[in-house]
Amino acid sequence: MEEKEEPRGLGPDVIRALRGEQSRAAFARLLGVTPLTVYRWELPDEAPQARRPRGRVAQALRNLLEGGVTPAPHAAPSQRQELRPEESARLMPCLAHLKRAEWRAAEEELLALLASGILRTPGARALMAVGLAYLQRWGRGDARSAFATLLPHLDEASSGLLPESVELQVHALAAHLYASPDGKLFDVARVDTHVARAEALLATRDDPEIRCHLRIAELATAFYLGEAERVARCTGRLAPLLPSVTDPVLRLIVEDALAHEATIRGESAQATRRFREVAEGAARMGYTYLEARNLAFLAQRRLEEACEPAEALQLVRRAREAAYGGRMVRGFSFIFAARAEAEALLRLTRFAEAEAVLDEADAVVVELSWTPLHLAVPRVLVGVVTGRYAELRRYAARLAAYDGPIQRKLTGAYALFAEGMADLAEGQPLRAAERLAETSARVAELGGWPFLRRECLVYETAARAFAGQLAEGRVLLRRARVFLERMPSAGHSAILNRFEGMLLALEGRPREAREQMEASLGTFRLAGDVSMALFTRHLLALVAKLEGDPAAEEMLSASEAELRRAGMAIPQDFTRAVTRPLHAATAPAPPGPLRLGAEALVVPFERLSVRGMGTSLLQRELLGVVEGLFPGCSPRLEELDSQGQATLLAGSASVPVTDEVEFGDGCGRRLRLGVVGPLPSDGRALLTSLSRLSGFALEVAALRGFAEVEPPASNVGDVESERDAELPGFIAASPAMKRLRAELARLSSSRATVIVTGESGSGKELVARAIHTLSTRSQRPYVAFNCAAVPRELFEGQLFGYRRGAYTGATTDHPGVIRAAHGGTLFLDEIGELPLEVQPKLLRFLENGEVFPLGEMRPVEVDVRVVTATHRDLGQLVREGRFREDLYYRLQVVPIRVPPLRERREDVVALAKHFVRMLTPEGQEPPQLGPDALAALVAHPWPGNVRELRNVIERSMAYGPLPAVLGAEQMRIAG
C-alpha cells in the first residue's frame, strides 16, 4: 500500500501538519489505514521503517492538502455565517419531506422557497441545494442533475464559511455523488477527500446519519471498484450504524446496500430476502426508486433460484412500472432489470427479444460511461446458445477495450471469460479450459468476485469434459460443488449435474450419466428453462448413442430439429472425447415395478436435493418425481391445519386417494402427499422416503429463505378500522382478505395493470371496484366490461369505439368503453374470453395508451388504468394458443388472487351477517343467526363461493315475515 519512494510533497512534516491535534488512530481511521502506517509516514527518510503514502491514500492526502483542509476546523467559528431563524424555519419542514420519501412535496416546496427570495445566506442556499440534489440522487437516481445542483456549493464548503452542519451535509452528499454508478462522476480520490473532510468535522460533533451516509459512499466505491474484500471491510463499518438511524429513507438505503453486500458475500438466500423486504418497505413508503431497484435485483435472485421465467418477467415489469411512476432516470437499476429480463427471455428461447433488451440496456451503459460487465453473462449466453460466435468474440473485444473507471480490472476478467466461452462453443475445449482457469486466477487476485468465479468453475468443468481431461474435470466438479454449497443456485446446480453427466459418460458409466442428465433436465423443465432443457435433451441423446441404444439416432435428429426450430446451435458432440471403449449397451430397464429399486431413486433424489430451490418449486418437483416413478398415477400435495383440514397445494383434489403419507417441513407445517391410481408393492415405502427427503429440502428452503414472491405480510392492526370505513361493504375478516385489502390500498397511486384471479363468485369484481375506490382516480369513471357477454363481431367496436358509418349498423359515433373510462378505471371481466384477433389491439393500447376507433384515421390518446379478471387459467390458454403470450405477460404486472371462500372460513360468518343486514328491509331489525345456522354455514365447503353464500341468505329471508332468529332449517344449504 505504501512505499519509501514517491514522497512528492508528503513528507513527515506535511503528514504531521495534516494530522494536527488528532491522534494517529483517529487520523488513520479517516484514511482507512492502520495507526502503524501513519507512524511510519511520520518517520524521517533515513529511518529503516519509514514509508511514504502512495496510490489512493496519497491522492486523498494531496486532496486534503490542496483543499486547505486541516483536521482542525479550518474556519474560525466567528467566520461561519449561521442560517437566519426564518430561513431555518422555512427550510426544515421541506427537508423533513426527504426523510419520508415525499419527493414531489419536497421539490415543490424547495423550488417555491428558492423563488421567494427568502433564502439569502450562503448556508441557507447551500442547504436548499443539498435538499434538491438529495432528491435528485435518492429520489430519482439522477446523479448528474444532483451534481449540477450541488456543484456551485462545493467551493463554499471548502472555504469554511458555511455553518458546520451545512458543510457536513455538502461533503456527505458530494461523497455519494462521486461514488455514483456513472463513469463521468465516479472518482475514488474525491470520495475519499469529501469523506475525510466530513470526518474532520465529525470529530467535534456526533451525527450518526451523516456517518452512515459516509459509510454508504465508501461501500458504493468499493463495489464499483469491484473489490470484494474492500466491500466486506466497508460493510463491517456500516452495519453497526444501522440501529442508530431513525430517518426511514436512510434506513432503507442502508438495507439496500447491505442486501448487495450479502450477494457479493455469497449469502444469496439472505440477499433474496433482503431485496424483497426492501422492495416491500419501499412500496409501503411510496419510495419508488428503491422499490424499482430492489424488484430488479429480486428478479435476478429469483432466476438463480430457478423460478419460472414468468415470475422474473413479472418482477421486472413491476420494477419498470415503479420506475416510471417515480420519474426515475434510466441508470443502474434499469441495467439490472434489463439483465434479469434478458435472462428470463433467454430461458424461454425468445432470443431476439432478449437481444433487443440487452441492446437497449447497452445504450444506457454507454450513456453512463458504465462498465458493460453486468450484461456480460446474458450476452455471452445468447452468443453461445444461438451459435453466433463471431459476435461473441466482438463482444469479448468490447469488454476488453473498456477503460472507464468502474470495475475496470473485473471487466477485463469478464472479457477473458467471454473468450473462453467462445472457445468452448466453437469446439476448442482445451483453450477454453485454459482461459477459464486464467480468468479464475485473475478473479482470485481481485479479491474473488463470486459471480464470475462461479461461472468459471462451472464452465471449466464442461471444458475439461469436452477436452477429455477427466481427472481435471473431476477436480473442477468437486470445487464447483463446494462453491455452490456456499453460494447456492438451483440453475447452476442443474447445469453442473449436466456436466457431471458428461464426465460420467466419458468415464464409461452411461447409466449414471443418464441419471444425472435426467435430474438436470427435470430441474430445467420444472423451472421453465426451455433452452437449457433442449440442450440437455440433446446431450442425453448423445449418451444414448454412446450406449449403443438403437433409438439414439432418431432421438438425436429429433432434438437437432427442435434446437434448430428454437434458433439454437447444436452442441458439440462431447462423446468424441471418449478415451476407452464402452461395454456393450446395457439392456433397457424392464418397465413396471421391477425398476423400482434403489437405482430408480437416484434421479428423484438428485432432483429433490438441488441446492437453492424455493418452496413451491420443490413442491412441484416432488409431484413431478412421483409422476415419473408411478406412471399412470396422479399425485397431490396438501397442507393440513391443526384441525386436520386440508388445503390443496398442488395436483388435483377431485378423486379419493389410493394411498397417502404425511410429513412435516421442519418449520411447523404438516403436509400430505397422496396418490390416485395403482401403486406397486413397495409404493408406500417409496412415497415415505420421498416425502421425508422433501421435508428436509423444504426445511432448508425455509431456513435459507428461498421464499417465493408472496404478497407482503400484513401488519395492519390499527389501520383496519380506517380501511373498513374506506371500503364499506367489503368484508375482510380473515387474515388472507385483510392482507389483500392492504395490498389494494398500496396500489392506490399506481397506474399499473392489475389482474384479479379467483374462482367464480369469490369477489373479483368487488376487488376491481375496490381498487378504483381506493385509487386517486376514484372521482373519475369506473367502467366495467364483460368480455364474455359481447358477440365476437361487435367486440372491437364496443371496446375501441367507432365512427358513424364505420360498418353497417353504425348509425352514430360510439366512444367505446376505453374512452368512456378516460381518467378513471376500466374493468375487463372474463379477459380469458377476449377474441384472439382483438388481443394485439388491446396490447397496443396497454403499451402506448392509444386507441384506434373503427373508421378513425388517427389514434386517440387515453389515460385509463386497466384492471382485468378471470376465473380461467390464462397460462393454460396461452399454452393452447388461445391467448397471446405477450398480452399475458403485459397483463400480469400486478396479479391479485382472491382466495376461494373455503380457504378463509373466518369470512363466512362475517359475510353472512353482512348479507343479513343488507337484505333486511329498511326500518326492520335484522334477524340474528342461530347457533345451528352458524354451524351449518361454517361446515359448508362453499363451492359457489361468496355468491352462493349470498344466495343462501337471500333465500332464507325470502319467505314470509322475518323471524327474530334465522335457523339452519331456513338456510337449506345444498349438501
Ligand X SMILES: Nc1ncnc2c1ncn2[C@@H]1O[C@H](COP(=O)(O)OP(=O)(O)OP(=O)(O)O)[C@@H](O)[C@H]1O
In angstroms, give the least distance from the CB of 914 to ligand X: 6
Question: Which one, 729 or 941, has the nearer CB to ligand X?
Answer: 729
Which of positions 933-962 make contact with ligand X (CB under 6 A)? 946-947, 950
Work out how close the CB of 757 gets to ligand X at its nearest, in angstroms, rounded to a whole number: 9
Among 122, 758, 853, 944, binds ligand X (CB under 6 A): 758
- Sole binder of ligand X in the list 412, 763, 816, 944 (CB under 6 A): 763
Minimum Å gap between C-beta 787 and ligand X is 11
Q: Which residue is nearest to ligand X (CB)?
A: 763
Closest CA to 371 of 329, 343, 342, 399: 399
Near ligand X in 350-379, by CB under 6 A: none
| Nearest-approach distance from CB 486 to ligand X, in angstroms | 47
- Does residue 762 bind ligand X (CB under 6 A)? yes
Q: How far is the CB of 869 from ligand X (least distance, A)?
A: 6
Residue 905 Cβ vs ligand X, minimum distance, rounded to whole Å: 13
Considering only residues 172 to 211 of the shown chain, the ones binding ligand X according to CB under 6 A are none
Work out how close the CB of 845 gets to ligand X at its nearest, in angstroms, rounded to a whole number: 23
- Phi then psi for residue 947, to 5 deg, are -60, -40
Nearest CA-CA partner of 569 in 610, 613, 534, 599:
534
Figure out which of the listed residues 59, 81, 760, 928 binds ligand X, where binding follows CB under 6 A. 760
Task: Return the residue of 124, 610, 661, 731 that touches ligand X, per CB under 6 A.
Answer: 731
Q: Which of 186, 459, 483, 730 binds ligand X (CB under 6 A)?
A: 730
- DSSP of 137-163, one letter per residue? IIIH--HHHHHHHHHHHHHHHHHT-S-
Choice between 729 and 840, CB closer to ligand X: 729
What crossing angle do the helices spanning 530-546 and 332-347 adopt, rounded to 10°? 40
Of 456 and 790, which CB lies nearer to ligand X in the complex structure? 790
E strand intervals along 541-669: 634-640, 646-651, 659-664
Minimum CB separation of residue 891 from ligand X in Å reads 16
Segment interacting with ligand X (CB under 6 A) among 238-246, 521-529, 726-734, 920-928: 726-734
CB-based contacts of 238, cutoff 8 Å, min separation 6: 212, 215, 216, 218, 219, 254, 257, 258
Residue type, position 262, single letter: A
Q: Determine the interface stretch with ligand X among 263-271, 490-498, 644-652, 728-736 (rule: CB under 6 A).
A: 728-736
Among 230, 871, 882, 897, binds ligand X (CB under 6 A): 871
Which of 40, 764, 777, 904 is close enough to bind ligand X by CB under 6 A?
764
Q: Are 612 and 489 in contact (CB under 8 A)?
A: yes
Binding residues for ligand X restricted to 813-832, rule: CB under 6 A = 829
Binding mask 558-597 for ligand X (x = CB under 6 A): ----------------------------------------
What phi, psi does 434 have (nearest 5°)?
-65, -45
Closest CA relative to residue 929, chosen from 903, 902, 949: 949
Residues from 303 through 342 that contact ligand X (CB under 6 A): none
- Distance between CA atoms of 928 and 238, rounded to whole angstroms? 60
- Angle of CA points 706, 711, 712, to nearest 5°: 85
Nearest to 748 by CA among 324, 313, 323, 284: 284
Return d(Cα 206, Cα 199) in angstroms, integer: 10
> What span, in angstroms and rounded, lies between the C-alpha atoms of 285 and 246?
14
Give the shortest CB-128-to-ligand X separation in angstroms: 48
Distance CA(833)–CA(83), nearest Å, equals 65
- CB–CB of 464/473 below 8 Å? yes
Q: Which is nearer to ligand X, 51 or 741 (CB)?
A: 741
473 or 944: CB nearest ligand X:
944
Smallest gap from residue 904 Cβ to ligand X (A): 9
What is the x/- site pattern for ligand X, positions 613-652, by CB under 6 A?
----------------------------------------
Q: Which is nearer to ligand X, 827 or 889 (CB)?
A: 827
Residue 718 φ/ψ, nearest 5 degrees: -75, -10
Q: Of 109 and 829, which has the nearer Cβ to ligand X?
A: 829
Stretch that binds ligand X, among 58-66, 478-486, 755-763, 965-973 (CB under 6 A): 755-763
Is 765 an interacting residue with respect to ligand X (CB under 6 A)?
yes
Cβ closest to ligand X, residue 211 vs residue 764 = 764
Per this entry, what is the length of the chain? 975
Residues in contact with ligand X, counted by CB under 6 A, come to a total of 18
Among positions 882-911, residues that touch ligand X (CB under 6 A) are 911
- Cα 150 to Cα 673: distance, rounded to the nearest angstrom: 62
Which string of x and - marks every residue 474-513 that binds ligand X (by CB under 6 A)?
----------------------------------------
Alpha carbon distances (Å) from 460 to 232, 464, 513, 516, 872: 27, 6, 18, 18, 46
Question: 519: burial class by Cβ within 10 Å (0-12, 13-18, 19+)?
Answer: buried
DSSP string computed for 353-369 = HHHHHHHHHHHHHHHTT
- Helix runs in 527-577, H state only: 530-546, 552-565
Distance separating alpha carbons of residues 280 and 241, to the nearest angstrom = 22
Residue closer to ligand X (CB basis): 196 or 869: 869
The type of residue at 270 is Q
Contact (CB, 8 A) for 539 and 518: no
In whole angstroms, give the CA distance from residue 844 to residue 43: 73
Least distance (Å) between residue 164 CB and ligand X? 57
**Listed ranges 390-398, 724-732, 816-824, 964-972: which one lies at the site for ligand X (CB under 6 A):** 724-732
Stretch in the footprint of ligand X (CB under 6 A) among 346-354, 498-506, 757-765, 953-961: 757-765
Q: Taking the CA of residue 562 as centre, how many other CA atoms within 13 Å lie in the half-sphere pointing to its CB?
A: 18
For cell 411512476, what's the residue? 325
Residue closer to ligand X, measured from CB, 197 or 764: 764
Which spans of this chain sit near ligand X (rule: CB under 6 A)? 729-731, 758, 760-766, 829, 871, 911, 914, 946-947, 950
